């Protein structure tokens, strides 16, 4: 893609740019405090020299784990995350709320 903006992709074919775009998009959703690596830190993507916690791209979509705020009902926040990420990732978008932050 010549625009510099990652387009819809699945799996790891989007590379670091897609992972970073998904992470940035999720963090910008009202009601999301931050991404969350899971109970044991098992959810994330390893990139050269770093790890992006809370984002896992798969062959059929992505898994996103978040810490939510009490700004909106959790179901609304989850729907907003899916809608925000939909232009970037095709396939299923699983969102897990790992924590709620006051």
In this predicted structure, what is the pLDDT of residue 43? Answer: 95
Q: Compute φ and ψ for 84, nearest 5 degrees.
A: -70, -35
DSSP, res 11: G
DSSP, res 70: S
In this predicted structure, what is the pLDDT of residue 3? Answer: 35
Let me know: does 22 contact 65? Beta carbons within 8 Å: no
Query: Which CATH entry fits the domain spanning 11-101: 1.10.8, 1.10.287, 3.30.70, 3.30.160?
Result: 3.30.70
Q: What is the pLDDT along the chain (102 residues), one digit of tens a residue?
A: 333 333 343 344 468 999 999 999 999 999 999 999 999 999 999 999 999 999 999 989 999 999 999 988 999 999 999 999 999 999 999 999 999 998
In this predicted structure, what is the pLDDT of residue 13? Answer: 44
In this predicted structure, what is the pLDDT of residue 14? Answer: 65
In this predicted structure, what is the pLDDT of residue 82? Answer: 98
């Amino acid at each position: 893609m010549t625009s510099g903006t990652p387009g819809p992709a699945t799996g790891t074919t989007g590379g670091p740019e897609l992972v970073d775009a998904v992470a940035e998009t999720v963090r910008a959703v009202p009601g999301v405090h931050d991404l969350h690596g899971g109970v044991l830190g098992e959810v994330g993507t390893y990139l050269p020299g770093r790890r992006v916690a809370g984002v896992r791209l798969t062959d059929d979509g992505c898994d996103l784990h978040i810490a939510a705020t009490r700004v909106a009902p959790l179901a609304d926040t989850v729907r907003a995350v899916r809608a925000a990420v939909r232009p970037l990732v095709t396939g299923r978008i699983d969102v897990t709320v790992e924590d709620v932050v006051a």
